[in-house]
Amino acid sequence: MKEIRIQGGKGLFGEIDIQGAKNSILPVLAATILCGGECVIHNCPNLSDVDTSVRILRNLGCSCSVEGNTVTVNSRDINCCEIPDDLMREMRSSIVFLGAILARCGKAVLSSPGGCELGPRPIDLHLSSLKRMGVSIKEEHGMLSCTCESRIKGETINLCFPSVGATENIILAAATADGITTINNAAKEPEISDLADFLNSAGARIYGAGSDTIVIHGVEKLHGTNHSIIPDRIVAATYMAAAVMNGGEIKLKNVMPSNMVSLLWAFNECGCKTEVNCRSITVKSNGELKRIPTVRSLVYPGFPTDAGPILISMLSISKGTSVFVENIFESRYKYIDELKRFGAKIKTEGKVAVIEGVRKLSAANVRCTDLRGGAALVLAGLVAEGETKISEIHHIERGYDDIVGTLSSVGAIISQE
Ligand code: UD1
């Protein structure tokens, strides 16, 4: 069993190059299915979720090669429209392959993704939207069998909630559909714009990504292309938190600060000093952080749910009491019991967490319960006195490209056994 060990209490100083965004690369890899030619994707992070996506693509008949941070996918010879159950279970977000497989093959078979560490994650919005676009869907024995007699039909879709995954699936289904698709109340996350940029560079006609109305003019077919993935704003926030919790100074390179406005707000509220340039952020503090009375997770451009655990870890050593309200996922607080093992004083009830800042944390043996919760434990371990051991780190490997090497490079005493 792999584990991370940390000797806490070291100030962190230096520069970190921020990896490409997990939530961009996954839909972009799904989108390569539509292209029917060679797609070269740069700035691809080395993550277990990327490995799983590559295995899904190979299983469909695509040729894929991974060299450093470049992935090349050629979907010319796709010969299968099914995602095996074990790959679906490994990565819940493989549901984003549905729209692309359907559009390319006219058929898709996959197992229902079911629940995950963050609570139930229904896909009703994905399915009802695809149905409106002419797809017939049968759900039997946990399997989804989707077919489309002819080309998918362009439609107007009014989402009752701006789901990121549903918006992506509709875009993927609509890019080569017959006619125009309009998505009202679409998700506005920067990763949606990255997917649209990728598809447009492959010949799609997608307008308005990043706003709440996206219009997609279906084209006959797409072609191969080159694309570079945008930086990961949640990973950037994680390393910023590592710096300020330990009274250090870190310059993040290859970031897009314009995508991080609500995150930068939170760091400034905590009393950290930030210097923002076009592609870099320098953050520093003397380790004395202030509370934030209330923070609510919201859809973009609001405070991201994925950064909730990172902020809560930070607030656990801030002066005073803070409140965090989780509005996106039902049970996102599983990691908090682990955070309390460091001596953090946090109470949760439903969607609310009340964090009473303590002066210091002490080392603990803890277990990751999910990806960002795992990152929160690493942050606590970095500041805690003594040696922390963190197990079940496969959760962290889903979203962080070499977190141990990166933190070591700025002075953390951290290793992986
Ligand atoms: C994506 C991100 C995830 C992030 C989330 C919210 C990826 C790979 N993952 O997840 O990191 O935390 O956006 O920013 O990009 N919902 C329904 N029915 C649906 C779809 C969603 O009820 O058909 C609900 C979900 O249960 C959840 C909320 O809507 O409560 C948000 O989900 P959604 O925006 O779809 O998130 P994901 O695409 O799963």
What is the number of domains present in the chain?
2
Q: Are 215 and 182 in contact (CB under 8 A)?
A: yes
Tell me, in angstroms, the distance from the centre of ligand 1 to residue 305's CA: 10
Amino acid at 158: N
Quote the pLDDT of residue 243.
97
Encoded tokens for 58: 């190979």
The residue whose C-alpha atom lies closest to atom 35 belonging to ligand 1 is 163
Encoded tokens for 241: 């938190």
406 forms bridges with which residues in the sheet?
Answer: none
Q: Are 309 and 376 in contact (CB under 8 A)?
A: yes
Distance CA 416, CA 256 (A): 30
Shared domain check, 107 and 8:
no
Quote the pLDDT of residue 120.
66
Shared domain check, 257 and 219:
no
Domain boundary among 200, 228, 256: 228
Whether 129 lines ligand 1, by a CB cut-off of 6 Å, is no
Mutate to test the pocket of ligand 1, among 91, 92, 124, 164 (most ligand atoms within 8 A of CB): 164
Amino acid at 92: R
CA distances from 71 to 13, 52, 237 (A): 31, 13, 25
Distance CA 276, CA 280 (A): 6
Count the alpha carbons within 13 Å of 125 in the hemisphere toward its beta carbon.
22
Tell me, in angstroms, the distance from the centre of ligand 1 to residue 163's CA: 5
Whether 124 lines ligand 1, by a CB cut-off of 6 Å, is yes
The residue whose C-alpha atom lies closest to atom 17 belonging to ligand 1 is 122
* DSSP result, 382-412: HHSBSEEEEE-THHHHTT-SSHHHHHHHTT-
Shared domain check, 219 and 272:
no
Quote the pLDDT of residue 119.
67
Written as tens digits, the pLDDT of the chain (417 aa) is: 799 999 999 999 999 999 999 999 999 999 999 999 999 999 999 999 999 999 999 999 999 999 999 999 999 999 999 999 989 888 888 999 999 999 999 999 998 775 566 666 789 999 999 999 999 999 888 889 999 988 999 999 999 999 999 999 999 999 999 999 999 999 999 999 999 999 999 999 999 999 999 999 999 999 999 999 999 999 999 999 999 999 999 999 999 999 999 999 999 999 999 999 999 999 999 889 999 999 999 999 999 999 999 999 999 999 999 999 999 998 899 999 999 999 999 999 999 999 999 999 999 999 999 999 999 999 999 999 999 999 999 999 999 999 999 999 999 999 998
Tell me, in angstroms, the distance from the centre of ligand 1 to residue 165's CA: 6
Whether 195 lines ligand 1, by a CB cut-off of 6 Å, is no
Shared domain check, 200 and 60:
yes
Which residue blocks in 284-384 are alpha helix, DSSP H? 308-315, 336-340, 371-383
Distance CA 48, CA 83 (A): 17
Distance CA 312, CA 359 (A): 15
Whether 130 lines ligand 1, by a CB cut-off of 6 Å, is no
Shared domain check, 385 and 250:
yes
Which residue blocks in 160-304 are alpha helix, DSSP H? 164-174, 190-201, 233-245, 261-269
Whether 333 lines ligand 1, by a CB cut-off of 6 Å, is no
Whether 119 lines ligand 1, by a CB cut-off of 6 Å, is no
Q: If you search the block for the tokens 């607030």, which residue do you land on?
A: 315
**Backbone φ and ψ of 250, nearest 5°:** -130, 140
Instruction: Report the Cα 64 to chain-centroid distance in Å.
Output: 22
> Which among 403, 415, 368, 417 has a CA at the least distance from the CA of 7?
415
Whether 190 lines ligand 1, by a CB cut-off of 6 Å, is no
Quote the pLDDT of residue 111.
87
Shared domain check, 412 and 286:
yes
Distance CA 56, CA 77 (A): 14
Shared domain check, 195 and 75:
yes
161 forms bridges with which residues in the sheet?
Answer: none
What does the DSSP 8-state code read for residue 153?
Answer: B
Supply the residues annotated as catalytic.
116
Which residue blocks in 139-189 are alpha helix, DSSP H? 164-174
- Assign 182 to helix, strand or coil: strand
Domain boundary among 176, 200, 228: 228
Tell me, in angstroms, the distance from the centre of ligand 1 to residue 283's CA: 30
Whether 52 lines ligand 1, by a CB cut-off of 6 Å, is no
Whether 53 lines ligand 1, by a CB cut-off of 6 Å, is no
Whether 164 lines ligand 1, by a CB cut-off of 6 Å, is yes
Distance CA 405, CA 15 (A): 13
What is the pairing mode between strands 3-7 and 413-416? antiparallel
The residue whose C-alpha atom lies closest to atom 20 belonging to ligand 1 is 123
Tell me, in angstroms, the distance from the centre of ligand 1 to residue 308's CA: 15
Quote the pLDDT of residue 122.
87
Domain boundary among 193, 228, 263: 228
The residue whose C-alpha atom lies closest to atom 34 belonging to ligand 1 is 163
Distance CA 94, CA 131 (A): 19
Shared domain check, 237 and 108:
no
- Domain with 186, as residue range(s), is 22-228
146 forms bridges with which residues in the sheet?
Answer: 108, 137
**Backbone φ and ψ of 280, nearest 5°:** -145, 155
Mutate to test the pocket of ligand 1, among 48, 97, 163, 297 (most ligand atoms within 8 A of CB): 163
What does the DSSP 8-state code read for residue 334?
Answer: T
Tell me, in angstroms, the distance from the centre of ligand 1 to residue 405's CA: 30
CATH of the domain at 48: 3.65.10.10
CA distances from 152 to 127, 132, 147, 173, 315 (A): 13, 10, 10, 7, 48
Whole-structure pTM value: 0.97
Q: Are 210 and 234 in contact (CB under 8 A)?
A: no
Tell me, in angstroms, the distance from the centre of ligand 1 to residue 362's CA: 34
Whether 165 lines ligand 1, by a CB cut-off of 6 Å, is yes
Number of other CB atoms surrounding residue 222 within 10 Å: 26
Ligand 1 atom closest to Cα of residue 163: 34
- Assign 145 to helix, strand or coil: strand
Distance CA 102, CA 121 (A): 21
Shared domain check, 315 and 179:
no
Shared domain check, 81 and 219:
yes
Shared domain check, 290 and 174:
no
Shared domain check, 246 and 220:
no
Q: Express each pLDDT in 299-354 by its tens digit.
A: 999 999 999 999 999 999 999 999 999 999 988 999 999 999 999 999 999 999 99
